[in-house]
Structure 1
Amino acid sequence: MAVPKRRMSRSNTRSRRSQWKTSAPQLVACSNRACRKPKPPHMACPNCGQYAGRQVTAPA
């Protein structure tokens, strides 16, 4: 296994970590015509409990 020979400087470590960026969560409209609330894609709607036109969880 490769092991670094010298300790990486603080400035090099911080400049490398400065590229770690997060993005805002993507939201899509619920496919239920009565609901249409924003929800994460590929997940059941937390408001109405439907996914792909089927009731999968109890409504909140």
Structure 2
Amino acid sequence: MAVPKRKMSRSNTRHRRSQWKATPVALVSCPRCRSPKQQHIACPTCGTYNGRQVIEPSA
């Protein structure tokens, strides 16, 4: 197993970690009710997925 020979400085560590960025959640509009929803997940507003009713709508 590879082991570092020297301690990595704080500035180098932070510079390397600065590239770790979280990506925002991709939202698409529901084809039935046009509300924003996540891809490949049933719509929480109308409860449909792939053109059919899969869950009870939330209120």
Under a length normalisation based on structure 2, what TM-score does the superposition of the two structures give?
A: 0.88
Aligned partner of 1:59: which letter? Answer: P
Q: Could you tell me whether the CA contact under 8 Å between 1:31 and 1:52 is conserved in 2?
A: no
Give the superposed CA RMSD: 0.9
The reply to whether residue 37 of structure 1 matches residue 35 of structure 2 is yes
Aligned length: 58
Q: Distance in 2 between matches of 1:4 and 1:57?
A: 52
**Identical pairs, percent:** 66
Structure 1 residue 25: Cα displacement: 1.5
Which deviations, in whole Å up to 9, do the C-alpha atoms of 1:11-55 show, x marking residues without a partner? 0000001111122221101021xx110001111001111000011
* Unpaired runs of at least 5, structure 2: none
Under a length normalisation based on structure 1, what TM-score does the superposition of the two structures give?
A: 0.87
* Unpaired runs of at least 5, structure 1: none
